[in-house]
Amino acid sequence: MSAFKIKAKDTNCNARTGQLTTAHGVIETPVFMPVGTRGTVKGLLPDTIKETGAQIILANTYHMVIRPGVDVVEKLGGLHKFMAWDRPILTDSGGYQVFSLESINRIGADGVEFASHIDGKRVYLDPKIATEVQNRLGADIIMCFDECTPFPCEPKKLKDAVERTIRWAGICKDSHKRDGQLLFGIVQGGIDLDLRAYCAEKLIEIDFPGYAIGGLSVGEGHENMVKTVSFTAPLLPEDKPRYLMGVGMPEDIIAAVYAGVDMFDCVLPTRNGRNGTAFVESGYLKMRNSSHIDDDSPVDRSCDCYCCRNFTRAAIRHFFNVGEMLGPILLSIHNIRYFQRLTATIRAKITENTFADWAKQMLAQKKQVSE
Amino acid sequence: MSAFKIKAKDTNCNARTGQLTTAHGVIETPVFMPVGTRGTVKGLLPDTIKETGAQIILANTYHMVIRPGVDVVEKLGGLHKFMAWDRPILTDSGGYQVFSLESINRIGADGVEFASHIDGKRVYLDPKIATEVQNRLGADIIMCFDECTPFPCEPKKLKDAVERTIRWAGICKDSHKRDGQLLFGIVQGGIDLDLRAYCAEKLIEIDFPGYAIGGLSVGEGHENMVKTVSFTAPLLPEDKPRYLMGVGMPEDIIAAVYAGVDMFDCVLPTRNGRNGTAFVESGYLKMRNSSHIDDDSPVDRSCDCYCCRNFTRAAIRHFFNVGEMLGPILLSIHNIRYFQRLTATIRAKITENTFADWAKQMLAQKKQVSE
């Protein structure tokens, strides 16, 4: 039986709602996954994360391997127990981080050697090891070890990365030994549509229970991203979940759902929250701004999060002004809830078959705001 | 009708349980109050603080006056709304902070001028202003503006401070204009028992609904403190709550309850929590210690806090090791809960009339540990 089931389709675009069944529960899609880089969504207790409506969170294999190490996490009973999170978890493969540390790694045909960003210790990752490590961490969804290219990227390097990603995907599938974990393939190819099509075709031949679109949101811009996603998503099997990695802004998510994408993750809600920026209907609010000094309204009147139900803009501005942790904590809650409300709205619109029109309207508005 | 009602007395010492009725609810005493210096108990959401069992929290008038300012807090509806805390709040008068900034203040007969520790702006506080400010902040319990002396302190200075504290207490009472707030007097006098007796007598003549013992836990040591508290507490009216300010360690609290004290506040649980130190039955645990690296036990097996119910020592050690906020947050929860469990145990022992023996046993144990 397939882990993914489509519930509703919007007849005017490729958007769909679905249910993805994992070992730790069913995920309603489209879904936004908050990021818990080093075993914690920064500043938030698991119960607080749950209260935002988050159905699944992401953890970074690279960071967990560096500290505290996979041995420790495994000995303690796996990532769920370590993080005290009993809902689904997705781990990336470490590929993205490894290839971001470009200056300190050596890419071979079979794997990558890199220096720990903490103590410089040499670490080696290849598709087999990355898969075994993810088997041991024990997330519900795990990812193939891929080569994530920067933007822009010279054609030869892009082509090589795609070939390597395809070859490695086969090794990942063969190395995957743990039941109850869904291993997703990752389509690479930058903004080269031919390469995207080629990569998708080859990965589909290998056959995965889900497919990701990787290598985007690396500087190519909204239009290039939407163009690439709109081309690539429909090439992926309709009955499998599609995951756009590391994305992103509300407008990116809406456009990608329109193209048929089901899953998203991004550090934006927590990173912006820590920096004092709140997502609101009309765009952003910079909460450090002195205009909020005695403002008794909540961050967003239309929001039902713990922060907006309890705190004024003035108090939040004060917490940032004096450097109190509660500022970042409250805005992280608000921003994660913002993305949960966004995806809940998206699911409702698709169910009503009104998503396509709503999406066009929202994207026009967002464009106006950003201009 | 008096705000304070004694419920049970231990017949073998001066310990008692009681109920203190405030505008925001009834407090069971002996009580420990976590400190929310700048409008937040550092790193904790109000719901999380409640979950530790905290009945009342403290906020510092000095810090609220400096930032965001009393005008802002008042405009937003007062401290309860600003902090999103609907249980009782106690504000200190600012005296302790002002007199700690010794090098940058000028003490006159009527008040103190000091420079803001943030921008150097000159600020003036006197008993009338400190009381008016606390009226405007709106806490349930407010404190007289007193002169807190350092330890050691020359006799002349100590005597002058006591005289000033008594004179100011009268002005505070006359200036107090807001119903529903209990104004407590503060007994000063360092470790000079004659001065303590004199100060207590004069304050009782003025008549307050509660009395604090101030100027301790400033370096005089456990024995001097216990001696002073044991002498002073019984001099205070039996039918009024007694509050030992800024105290303290579990052994200090147990000894002070033995002497007849009802209320305590201290930054220790949160400050130690942020530094990676957990209070446990046997003393301390340093959670950064590498001995915890793969320890799957909770911080304290006998503890029922969110941290101990959900996280291993290994995970907490990891969070401190990588600098994640969740480490300080979890240990702050644990440590506050530790003090709430301690005072709950104290109340139960008094109710059973077994407190005196238990206290002696605990103090002997603690002494052994510290030797």
Q: How far is B210 from chain A (nearest CA, A)?
A: 31
Contact A319 B40 (CB under 8 A): yes
Over the stretch B303-329, which tens digit does the pLDDT of each residue have?
A: 999 999 999 999 999 999 999 999 999
Q: Which token pair is B75?
A: 């405009």
Q: Which token pair is A275?
A: 């920096």
Using CB atoms, which residue from A38, A84, A310 is nearest to B322? A38
Strand segments, DSSP code E, in chain B are 4-9, 16-22, 25-29, 31-34, 57-59, 89-91, 105-107, 112-115, 122-125, 141-143, 182-187, 211-213, 242-244, 263-266, 277-280, 283-286
For residues A268-285, give the mean pLDDT.
96
Question: What per-residue confidence (pLDDT) applies to A143?
Answer: 98
Question: What per-residue confidence (pLDDT) applies to A120?
Answer: 82
For residues A218-244, give the mean pLDDT.
97
pLDDT > 80? residue A144: yes
User: Which candidate, B313, B312, B318, B323, places its Cα nearest to that of B274?
Assistant: B323
Contact A312 B76 (CB under 8 A): yes
Q: Tell me the longest C-alpha to C-alpha distance in chain B.
A: 60
CATH fold for domain B27-266: TIM Barrel (3.20.20)
Question: What per-residue confidence (pLDDT) applies to B104?
Answer: 64
Instruction: Sketch the domain layout of chain A as residue ranges.
Output: 4-267
Over the stretch A107-117, which tens digit does the pLDDT of each residue have?
A: 877 888 888 87
For residues B319-340, give the mean pLDDT.
98
Using CB atoms, which residue from B48, B296, B318 is nearest to A68? B318
Residue of chain A whose Cα is closest to the Cα of B311: A84
Using CB atoms, which residue from A82, A328, A329 is nearest to B45? A329
Cα separation, A96 vs A148, in Å, equals 6
pLDDT > 70? residue B371: no
B38 CB neighbours in chain A (<8 A) are: 318-319, 322, 324
A314 CB neighbours in chain B (<8 A) are: 68, 72, 76, 82
A307 CB neighbours in chain B (<8 A) are: none
Contact A77 B38 (CB under 8 A): no
Contacts of residue A112, defined as CB under 8 A and 6 or more positions apart, other chains included, come to A98, A99, A105, A106, A124, A125, A126
B296 CB neighbours in chain A (<8 A) are: 75-77
Residue of chain B whose Cα is closest to the Cα of A329: B43
Q: Which residue is catalytic, options B10, B140, B265, B300?
A: B265
Q: Would you place residue A370 in the very low, low, confident or very high pLDDT band (cuts 50, 70, 90)?
A: low
Predicted ipTM of the assembly: 0.97
Average pLDDT, chain B: 95
Q: Select the CATH number that applies to the domain covering A4-267 from these four: 2.50.20.10, 3.20.20.105, 3.40.50.300, 1.20.1560.10.
A: 3.20.20.105
Question: What per-residue confidence (pLDDT) applies to B239?
Answer: 98
Contact B325 A329 (CB under 8 A): yes
Task: Report the predicted TM-score, pTM, of the whole model to 2 decimal places.
Answer: 0.97
Contact A318 B39 (CB under 8 A): yes
pLDDT > 80? residue A158: yes
A326 CB neighbours in chain B (<8 A) are: 40, 42-45
Tell me the three-class secondary structure of chain A, residue by residue: CCCEEEEEECCCCCCEEEEEEECCEEEEECEEECECCCCCCCCCCHHHHHHCCCCCEEECHHHHHHCCCHHHHHHCCCHHHHHCCCCCEEECCCHHHHHHCHHHEEECCCCEEEECCCCCCEEEECHHHHHHHHHHHCCCEEECCCCCCCCCCCHHHHHHHHHHHHHHHHHHHHHCCCCCCEEEEEECCCCCHHHHHHHHHHHHHHCCCCEEECCCCCCCCHHHHHHHHHHHHHHCCCCCCEEECCCCCHHHHHHHHHCCCCEEECCHHHHHHHCCEEEECCEEEECCCHHHCCCCCCCCCCCCCHHHHHCCHHHHHHHHHHCCCHHHHHHHHHHHHHHHHHHHHHHHHHHCCCHHHHHHHHHHHHHHHHC
DSSP B103: G
Over the stretch B82-129, which tens digit does the pLDDT of each residue have?
A: 999 999 999 999 988 888 876 567 887 788 888 887 888 888 899 999
For residues B138-147, give the mean pLDDT.
97
Contact A326 B45 (CB under 8 A): yes
Residue of chain A whose Cα is closest to the Cα of B40: A326
CB A91 within 8 A of CB A139: yes
**Which has more pLDDT, B123 or A145?**
A145
Judged by DSSP in three states, B159 sits in helix
Cα separation, A258 vs A244, in Å, equals 12
Question: What per-residue confidence (pLDDT) applies to A104?
Answer: 64
A306 CB neighbours in chain B (<8 A) are: 45, 47
Q: Annotated active-site positions of A, please? A: 92, 265
Contact A315 B83 (CB under 8 A): yes
Contact A68 B43 (CB under 8 A): no
Percent above pLDDT 90 for chain B: 89
For residues A265-293, give the mean pLDDT.
96
pLDDT > 70? residue A61: yes
Question: What per-residue confidence (pLDDT) applies to B102?
Answer: 61
Question: What per-residue confidence (pLDDT) applies to B11?
Answer: 98
A70 CB neighbours in chain B (<8 A) are: none
Over the stretch A19-52, which tens digit does the pLDDT of each residue have?
A: 999 999 999 999 999 999 999 999 999 999 999 9
Contact A311 B84 (CB under 8 A): yes
Residue of chain B whose Cα is closest to the Cα of A75: B294
Question: What per-residue confidence (pLDDT) applies to B1?
Answer: 64
Question: What per-residue confidence (pLDDT) applies to A1?
Answer: 65
Over the stretch B250-263, which tens digit does the pLDDT of each residue have?
A: 999 999 999 999 99
Contact A67 B322 (CB under 8 A): yes
Over the stretch A298-356, which tens digit does the pLDDT of each residue have?
A: 999 999 999 999 999 999 999 999 999 999 999 999 999 999 999 999 999 999 999 99
pLDDT > 70? residue A371: no
Contact A76 B296 (CB under 8 A): yes
Using CB atoms, which residue from A47, A71, A324 is nearest to B38? A324
pLDDT > 70? residue A80: yes
A46 CB neighbours in chain B (<8 A) are: 310
For residues B288-298, give the mean pLDDT.
97
For residues A211-222, give the mean pLDDT.
96
CB A136 within 8 A of CB A94: no
Using CB atoms, which residue from A77, A306, A322 is nearest to B45? A306
Question: What per-residue confidence (pLDDT) applies to B147?
Answer: 93
Cβ–Cβ pairs < 8 A, chains A and B: 121
B324 CB neighbours in chain A (<8 A) are: 38-40, 42
For residues B126-148, give the mean pLDDT.
97
Using CB atoms, which residue from A43, A82, A315 is nearest to B82? A315
Over the stretch B199-257, which tens digit does the pLDDT of each residue have?
A: 999 999 999 999 999 999 999 999 999 999 999 999 999 999 999 999 999 999 999 99
Residues from A contacting B (CB-CB < 8 Å) are 38-40, 42-48, 67-68, 71-72, 75-77, 81-84, 293-294, 296, 306, 310-312, 314-315, 317-319, 321-322, 324-326, 328-330
Question: What per-residue confidence (pLDDT) applies to B282?
Answer: 87
Probe site for chain B from A288, A325, A334, A337 (most B CB atoms < 10 A): A325
What per-residue string of b and e applies to B229-261 under the rule 16 or more CB within 10 Å gives b?
bbbbbebbbeebbbbbbbbbbbbbbbbbbbbbb
pLDDT > 70? residue B370: no
Residue of chain B whose Cα is closest to the Cα of A40: B326
Residue of chain B whose Cα is closest to the Cα of A77: B296
Contact A321 B67 (CB under 8 A): yes
Question: What per-residue confidence (pLDDT) applies to B103?
Answer: 58
**Which has more pLDDT, A370 or A220?**
A220
Contact A43 B82 (CB under 8 A): no
For residues B350-370, give the mean pLDDT.
90
Contact B84 A315 (CB under 8 A): yes
